[in-house]
Amino acid sequence: MTTVTSICNKALIKLGITKKILNVETDDSPEANACSMVYDDILKEVLRVHNWNFAIFRQSLNKDNTTPVFGFNNRFILPTLPTFLRLLEIENNPVFRLENGYILSNENSINIRFIGKETNPNKYDSIFINLFACRIALEIGHSLTSDNGLIARIKQEYIELLSLASEKDNLEDNDIAETASSYNNSRITGLNIGITGNFINS
């Protein structure tokens, strides 16, 4: 069974740290504290950088009571269960804008596909778990080790795993793979310690 703690321990192993965290929520070790501080932010980041099948959701959006000041007739509330991370598709491709937690459109109803914040580790696939552990290791690595060569190797592993995820999707869903590839290719070139995703805003 995959847990938050097991993912954190996998990150520590990548850093050459063999001491295991027993429970990341209650352990007060430097390693546990480092992992728990970054876990949620890194989870959202890694979910954004690829169209993970387990994190794709479809929802009909609720219309907000407030009419936009100009430009559009309606605005629709973005999902909170699960937390909206990145828009993939709006049914029938209407003209729209994504602004401040809403989708603005002249449509009377909006159905979307999106990347959501999936928090159940048992739904994660093996590539995602490994990638997520790499990204945590990159984030906490300099505070726990001075081995810059090791950090560089983990960074390279992260990039290779992201490429492997795209190849896997090519076998499963070409439409998803193409969308994911264009999204994360634009960010790999900007990788410093990790890749930071952003909401689509238009």
Check the CA dihedral 144-145-149-150 and report its sign: negative
Q: Which residues contact 159 (CB under 8 A, 6 or more apart)?
A: 188, 191
Q: How many whole angstroms separate alpha carbon 202 and alpha carbon 98? A: 6
Range with lowest mean pLDDT among 6-20, 81-95, 168-182, 184-198: 184-198
In tens, the pLDDT along 101-148 reads: 999 999 999 999 999 999 999 999 999 999 999 999 999 999 999 899
Percentage, residues of the chain above pLDDT 90: 81
Bridge partners (DSSP) of residue 83 are: 80
pTM of the entire structure? 0.84
Q: In this model, does residue 51 exceed pLDDT 90?
A: yes
Nearest CA to 127 out of 52, 202, 36 is that of 52
**pLDDT given for residue 172 in this prediction:** 67
Between residues 196 and 62, the one the model is more confident about: 62
